[in-house]
Amino acid sequence: MSLFLYLDRDSPLHRLHPVVKVCGMLCLFVAAFVSDRPTVVLPVTAGVAGLIALVGAWVNVHRLRVLFVMVFIMTLLIWSLFYRGGVPIAAWGPISISAAGMQFALAMALKLVTFLSIGVVFLSTTKIEEFAYALTRVGMPYKLGFAMTMAFRLVPVFIDAAATVVQAQRCRGFNFDEGGVLQRLQRYVPVIVPVFMGALRRADGMAMALEARGFQSNRPRTSYEQYNFGARDTLALVVAAAVVGAYLALWYLGYTSVPIV
Amino acid sequence: MTSRADGEAICLEHVSFTYPGQTVPALRDLTLSVRAGEMVVVMGATGAGKTTLAKCLNRTIPAFQPGTLSGTLTLFGRRLVHEGVADLAGVVGLVSQDFEAQLFATNVVQELAFGMEQLGVPPAEMRRRVPDALAAVGLTGFERRDPATLSGGEKQRLAIAATLALAPRLLVFDEPTTDLDPLGKLEIFDVLGTMRRHGYTLVVIEHESAAAAHADRLVILSDGRIVLDDRPERVLGQGEFLRTHGVRPPDLSGIALGLGLTPPPRTVDEAERALKDRPARDSSPGLPEASRLEAGWTYPPAHQGFVWVAGGLSLRTGADTRKQSFHPPTRAAVHEPVASPRAGAGGAPPLVEAANVSFAYDAGPPVLHDVSLRIDAGAFVALIGQNGSGKTTLAKHLNGLLRPTAGSVRLAGQDVHGLPLNRVAADVGYVFQNPDHQIFASTVYDEVAFGPRNLGVAADVEARRVRAALDAVELTGCEAADPFLLSKGHRQRLAVASVLALRPRLLILDEPTTGLDYCEQRRMMDLLAKLHTDGLAIVMITHSPWVVAEYAERGVLMGGGRILFDGPLRDLFAREEMLRQAHFQLPDVTRLGLRFGFTPLTVAEFVDCMTAADPTSLSADR
């Protein structure tokens, strides 16, 4: 199993400077975030969908389709039923539906799906090393960035280890599904201990292997990947800034919130 | 890359090291000199100080490991005093057994670049070194692959390439092939040969004597001291000496000793030539005993059958009773190849029977295709095949850990998925490859008692079972010990005990000998042989040719998710081409025997068949 969505392709988005990718992602997030009206979110959603098409990242959307659909439907349902402030069309006790509520719910659902899509675009086009590089460029210490990339790499490893341990203990007649909540927590000891001890052993081995590759040599580091800031990056930044600027202006002028009907 | 340079690469003088809390030093007054461009293989039993030596060479000791270090280390004329591990990164490269812990990046090129970035190598230079390092380990074309998607052998080669990219002059390998399948091992041995030709100075710590093939010197460590340091062929000829130091002597040196071949052959080809050139002792290589082997007669298990004595090989029963050492065909030897699981059914129902099982993980490609396997009481089955052939997946079906996508698995006639977990666990024991995936308790007693407690047995029964299980694996007296402080060999046996305490009728083991030295492997396998004699059916997944040859009665060869062969082991070992295609390396003695038209499983069998002088006297003995 893998946590990575990265697609090894050569799209215009892939070629952007890592810092520009991070900035662009943040701009799109802000633009989607300030909009509470479906018609206002929709252009962002459409834009991001365009980017997905540009990158060819529909594979990843397909991989996450269950998540997309669940998020959309659940958000739509919950906000339609629990939105307060509109004029009720129908009501069952404390629950009511209003036109404003439904508009808001649709906006929220679109917004969350847009967030997910922005994430997909970013992760499909950015290697974890690039992400770490971008963060160090804006001031994060190198070792922290490295720790972050390692965390990404190790999570699947530990999930695999845990799955094996669960199987090993099941082979010894161990049943996880017995007892109350507290008992169940206690019952996880035979899984947690081996996984944890394995993690410590692994950490120890990695620390030595890192050292053997010169991790603490204290010489000035170089970078194999040369990220050059080019015209494409400038253009991307201008577009991103224009989008976020426009949305902030709309928000400031009050065009992004749901009108009370 | 590096040109062969004269002069001394390593000079260790009077080096001693003691781990904290230990009274016995791990290295004692060790002095070793290695010339630049030399390849030195270091072997020895667990605890002999091999890994400690490797860690001293790249300064992991003392930088990471507290303890008492004395003596001096000089590398390429530079005496090390305050240097840390990272300071030596461009001088000494260390590749360890655990390849997973040595990879940090998300693609192959980034992996190579990582170390160079740390050392501040200019980008242009990096671009020059990457293709060279990849070519040296045969990974050209893998540049954009994610290391997580590589096979074990490829990962280890990538770890080597990443070290080569730092342009070290000395490379230290600490058991680089231990966790690899036979194909992976061969890949690494090839790489070692290439690097030696490139003029690197190499120190290789290994359990497998095959690693010594390219070496200039073979050093045997024992209790922190060098007990032998000589040319490999001279060391490998000393069978008994190697055994006591945890090294399995090569088949060919046993044969050379048993048949008096001098000089000892280094390859199967050489041995064949030497034997065919010998003055004929009888008119043809008639090999009457060999024909008995093919008829299913066997020696007693080789581990009981012969001993090494000074200067030669003899059967434990004594030379003059040798002819009686053949046994009539055993139950296993006449076992019919199971074409259809029901075909062989006669009398008692099978313990476990997988019928037409197919399996795929989630939406992935199928891992098993219509596999049928029948395990009867008293079986001793070796499940072999290269990594990814479906061995473990099939084994995990036999106790219901995995549910087949098609087909069924029946335990004593009942569908395994209809049975409660307790019932299955009490019938089929499964020992995972890595004992650390199951050990969690704070004492050995509690660890072993975990299974019986899950079954809900009474306290006195529990105590009895724990005692019996610990007794079976020879860990009696360790009840109060902390499992995490035991050695790997002990932890492996503890894992077996903790499954035995469930009193299964079938024991499945995934690679029971991996990571153990030869003495520990013997001990583990003798333990299994004893359990088998006591009536336990055994299925073991293994890559170790000699373990299969000397212990299993039936061989099941898997490839591409199918069973390619299922039948008596000797029949399987006679199919050299089929095994070669499945990347299973036959023991040298079997390969040699096949060239003389029979299928010996052990050196003793081969020697006996080749020395049988008088064909007529044999039949009279029956």
Residue B302: its pLDDT value, please? 41
DSSP state of B219: E
- Best mutation site among A124, A171, A226 for testing chain B: the one with the most B CBs within 10 Å? A171
DSSP state of B337: P
Interface membership of B430 toward A (CB under 8 Å): yes
Rounded CA gap, A203 and A195, in Å?
12
Q: Which residue of A has its CA nearest to B55?
A: A208
B314 Ramachandran zone, left/alpha/beta (phi>0; psi -120 to 50): beta
Beta bridge partners of B315: B306
Residue A260: its pLDDT value, please? 55
Q: Looking at the structure, do residues A126 and A69 belong to the same domain, yes or no?
A: yes
Rounded CA gap, B195 and B1, in Å?
9
Please give the residue range of the domain that contains residue B419. 352-573
Residue A6 lies in a domain: no
Residue A145 lies in a domain: yes
Residue B291: its pLDDT value, please? 58
CATH number at residue B89: 3.40.50.300
Size of interface A-B (CB pairs under 8 A): 176
Q: Looking at the structure, do residues A56 and A33 belong to the same domain, yes or no?
A: yes
Q: Looking at the structure, do residues A74 and A117 belong to the same domain, yes or no?
A: yes
The answer to whether the Cβ–Cβ distance between B121 and A170 falls below 8 Å is no
Q: Where does the pLDDT of residue B533 fall: very low under 50, low under 70, confident under 90, or very high at 90 and above?
A: very high
Kindly give the pairing relationship between strand B380-384 and strand B554-559: parallel
Residue A8: its pLDDT value, please? 86
Whether the per-residue pLDDT at B621 is higher than 50: the answer is no
Instruction: Look at chain B and report how many structural domains it folds into.
Output: 2
Stated as kind and residue range, the H or E segment containing B304 is: helix B302-305
Q: Looking at the structure, do residues A127 and A236 belong to the same domain, yes or no?
A: yes
- Give CA separation, B150 vs A43, A124, B108, B362, B412, in Å: 42, 21, 10, 20, 39
Residue A208 lies in a domain: yes
Whether the per-residue pLDDT at B30 is higher than 90: the answer is yes
Q: Where does the pLDDT of residue B180 fall: very low under 50, low under 70, confident under 90, or very high at 90 and above?
A: confident
**CA quadruple B266, B271, B277, B281: dihedral sign:** positive
Q: Looking at the structure, do residues A127 and A245 belong to the same domain, yes or no?
A: yes
Among A179-188, B287-296, B509-518, B572-581, name the one with the lowest average pLDDT: B287-296
Q: Where does the pLDDT of residue B203 fall: very low under 50, low under 70, confident under 90, or very high at 90 and above?
A: very high
Contact in structure between B315 and B609 (CB atoms under 8 Å): no
Q: Where does the pLDDT of residue B343 fall: very low under 50, low under 70, confident under 90, or very high at 90 and above?
A: very low
- Best mutation site among B65, B437, B491, B500 for testing chain A: the one with the most A CBs within 10 Å? B437
Interface membership of B230 toward A (CB under 8 Å): no
Q: Which residue of B has its CA nearest to A202?
A: B101
**CA quadruple B177, B180, B182, B187: dihedral sign:** negative
Q: Which residue of A has its CA nearest to B449?
A: A172
Residue A114 lies in a domain: yes
Residue A7 lies in a domain: no
The answer to whether the Cβ–Cβ distance between A129 and B63 falls below 8 Å is no
Whether the per-residue pLDDT at B347 is higher than 90: the answer is no
Residue B551 lies in a domain: yes
Per-residue tens of pLDDT for chain A, all 261 residues: 456 788 888 899 999 999 999 999 999 999 999 988 899 999 999 999 999 999 999 999 999 999 999 999 999 999 888 887 777 888 887 778 888 888 889 999 999 999 999 999 999 999 888 888 899 888 999 889 888 888 888 888 888 899 999 999 999 988 877 666 777 777 788 999 999 999 998 888 898 899 899 888 888 888 898 888 999 999 999 999 999 999 999 999 988 776 654
Residue A78 lies in a domain: yes
Structure tokens at B343: 């075909």
Contact in structure between A129 and B105 (CB atoms under 8 Å): yes
Contact in structure between B452 and B466 (CB atoms under 8 Å): yes
Contact in structure between B350 and B339 (CB atoms under 8 Å): no
Chain A partners of B90 at a C-beta cutoff of 8 Å?
Answer: 214
Q: Looking at the structure, do residues A109 and A163 belong to the same domain, yes or no?
A: no
Q: What angle do CA B146, B149, B151 make, to 5 degrees?
A: 125
Helix (H, G, I), strand (E, B) or coil at B227: strand
In the listed set B242, B271, B304, which residue is the last one of a domain according to the structure? B242
The answer to whether the Cβ–Cβ distance between B455 and A173 falls below 8 Å is yes
DSSP state of B419: S
The 10s digit of each residue's pLDDT in B589-618 is: 999 999 998 899 999 999 888 887 434 434
Q: Looking at the structure, do residues A123 and A187 belong to the same domain, yes or no?
A: no
Mean residue pLDDT of chain B comes to 85
Residue B297 lies in a domain: no
The answer to whether the Cβ–Cβ distance between A209 and B101 falls below 8 Å is yes
Whether the per-residue pLDDT at B337 is higher than 50: the answer is no
**CA distance, residue A216 to nearest chain B CA (Å):** 6
Interface membership of B58 toward A (CB under 8 Å): yes
DSSP state of B333: T
Q: Where does the pLDDT of residue B327 fall: very low under 50, low under 70, confident under 90, or very high at 90 and above?
A: very low
Residue B103 lies in a domain: yes
Chain A partners of B120 at a C-beta cutoff of 8 Å?
Answer: 217, 219-222
Rounded CA gap, B87 and A225, in Å?
24
Rounded to 10 degrees, the C-alpha dihedral B484/B488/B492/B494 comes to -40
Chain B partners of A168 at a C-beta cutoff of 8 Å?
Answer: 430, 432, 437-438
The answer to whether the Cβ–Cβ distance between A173 and B60 falls below 8 Å is no
Structure tokens at B354: 């997988």
- Give CA separation, A240 vs A6, A11, B147, B198, in Å: 22, 18, 34, 53
Instruction: Look at chain A and report how many structural domains it folds into.
Output: 2
Q: Looking at the structure, do residues A107 and A66 belong to the same domain, yes or no?
A: yes
- Best mutation site among A222, A227, A228 for testing chain B: the one with the most B CBs within 10 Å? A222
In the listed set B224, B242, B260, which residue is the last one of a domain according to the structure? B242
Whether the per-residue pLDDT at B267 is higher than 90: the answer is no
Interface membership of B105 toward A (CB under 8 Å): yes
Q: Which residue of B has its CA nearest to A161?
A: B437
Q: Looking at the structure, do residues A90 and A55 belong to the same domain, yes or no?
A: yes
Residue B342: its pLDDT value, please? 42
Interface membership of B361 toward A (CB under 8 Å): no
Residue A102 lies in a domain: yes
The answer to whether the Cβ–Cβ distance between B484 and A197 falls below 8 Å is yes
Of B320 and B371, the one with more pLDDT: B371
Residues B444-460: what's their mean pLDDT? 94
The answer to whether the Cβ–Cβ distance between A220 and B120 falls below 8 Å is yes
**CA distance, residue A73 to nearest chain B CA (Å):** 25
Rounded CA gap, A164 and A153, in Å?
18
Residue B336 lies in a domain: no
Residue B361 lies in a domain: yes
**CA distance, residue A179 to nearest chain B CA (Å):** 13
In the listed set B183, B212, B242, which residue is the last one of a domain according to the structure? B242
Q: Looking at the structure, do residues B238 and B360 belong to the same domain, yes or no?
A: no
Q: How many CB atoms lie within 10 A of CB B432?
A: 22
Q: Where does the pLDDT of residue B294 fall: very low under 50, low under 70, confident under 90, or very high at 90 and above?
A: low
SS3 assignment for chain A:
CCCCCCCCCCCCCCCCCHHHHHHHHHHHHHHHHHCCCHHHHHHHHHHHHHHHHHHCCHHHHHHCHHHHHHHHHHHHHHHHHHCCCCCEEEEECCEEEEHHHHHHHHHHHHHHHHHHHHHHHHHHHCCHHHHHHHHHHCCCCHHHHHHHHHHHHHHHHHHHHHHHHHHHHHCCCCCCCCCCHHHHHHHCHHHHHHHHHHHHHHHHHHHHHHHHCCCCCCCCCCCCCCCCCCHHHHHHHHHHHHHHHHHHHHHHHCCCCCCCC
Q: Looking at the structure, do residues A61 and A127 belong to the same domain, yes or no?
A: yes
Please give the residue range of the domain that contains residue A188. 140-212
Residue B283 lies in a domain: no
Residue B149: its pLDDT value, please? 85
Q: Where does the pLDDT of residue B87 fall: very low under 50, low under 70, confident under 90, or very high at 90 and above?
A: confident
Q: Looking at the structure, do residues A107 and A147 belong to the same domain, yes or no?
A: no
Chain B partners of A124 at a C-beta cutoff of 8 Å?
Answer: none
Residue B615: its pLDDT value, please? 42
Q: Looking at the structure, do residues B238 and B356 belong to the same domain, yes or no?
A: no
Q: Where does the pLDDT of residue B322 fall: very low under 50, low under 70, confident under 90, or very high at 90 and above?
A: very low
Residue A243: its pLDDT value, please? 95
Residue A223 lies in a domain: no
Q: How many CB atoms lie within 10 A of CB B452?
A: 25
The yes/no answer to whether this complex scores an ipTM above 0.95 is: no
Of B560 and B615, the one with more pLDDT: B560
Q: Looking at the structure, do residues B422 and B563 belong to the same domain, yes or no?
A: yes
**CA distance, residue A64 to nearest chain B CA (Å):** 14
Residue B419 lies in a domain: yes
Residue A84: its pLDDT value, please? 77
Q: Looking at the structure, do residues A153 and A114 belong to the same domain, yes or no?
A: no
Residue B622: its pLDDT value, please? 33
Q: Which long-range contacts (CB under 8 A, 24 or more apart) does B100-103 make?
A: B100/A157, B100/A202, B100/B155, B101/A202, B101/A205, B101/A206, B101/A209, B102/A205, B102/A206, B102/A209, B102/B159, B102/B162, B103/B147, B103/B155, B103/B158, B103/B159, B103/B162
Of B36 and A36, the one with more pLDDT: B36
Helix axes A18-34, A231-253, angle to 10 degrees: 20
Interface membership of B396 toward A (CB under 8 Å): yes
Beta bridge partners of B375: B352
Residue A61: its pLDDT value, please? 92
Residues 117-176 of B with CB under 8 A from A: 117-123, 126-127, 144, 146, 148, 162-163, 166
**CA distance, residue B396 to nearest chain A CA (Å):** 9
